[in-house]
Amino acid sequence: MICDTLHLRPRYGEVDQMGYVYHANYVSYCHQARTELLRKLGVHDQVLEAHHVMLPVISFQIDYKKPARYDELLTIRTLIPVFPEVRFQFEFEFFNEQEQLLSKARSTVVFVDSRSRYPRGAPDFFKKALNRAWKHDENSMLRVERSVSFLATICPDTLQPLLNEKPGNDENNDFNR
């Protein structure tokens, strides 16, 4: 599991007449958070393109809890809960400055060869980049499991349920917990 955080402020053009972030902009924010997490891992878009890899979105779900507002500092927590093979899952949590949960989202992309346009497995260079972060995160998780209060500061609503779920059981991936 890999967890990352992105901070951003919605711009004036991203809100509706009520001053709330227009709902479709959350998709863009999730894309930005996903891109920045991959950039930190060394596999940004240019690297993917140079290796003829595309990551089209095949699924996107979002649950809105509270509105995000214009110029409010948002924290987006991005989680890679499962090591990717062909499909690659991301989970997102949006928080305001008061650390209130505003929304949760889940996105699934698939590895595609840009020349053939057919799905493919995660390339070796990509797996190596994730493995470096994954190993580091597993070490962190061992420390986190010993301290529930510390767990709450990393990804409070996301990590604990994932620690309890059984691998490969999609029924346990209910994102509405």
Q: Going by C-beta distance under 8 Å and a sequence separation of 6 or more, which residues neighbour residue 170?
A: none
User: Considering only the top CATH level, what class is 2-172?
Assistant: alpha beta
pLDDT of residue 103: 97
Asked if 92 and 105 touch (Cβ cutoff 8 Å), the reply is: yes
- pLDDT means per 10 residues, the chain with 177 residues, are 94 94 96 95 92 96 96 96 95 96 97 96 93 67 40 50 46 37
* Radius of gyration of the chain, Cα coordinates, nearest whole angstrom: 17
Residues carrying an active site annotation: 16
Tell me how far apart the alpha carbons of residues 93 and 112 are, in angstroms, rounded to a whole number: 26
Q: What is the pTM of this model?
A: 0.75
Q: Going by C-beta distance under 8 Å and a sequence separation of 6 or more, which residues neighbour residue 97?
A: 72, 73
Q: What ranges make up the beta strands (E) of the chain?
A: 2-8, 53-54, 57-64, 74-80, 87-95, 101-110, 112-113
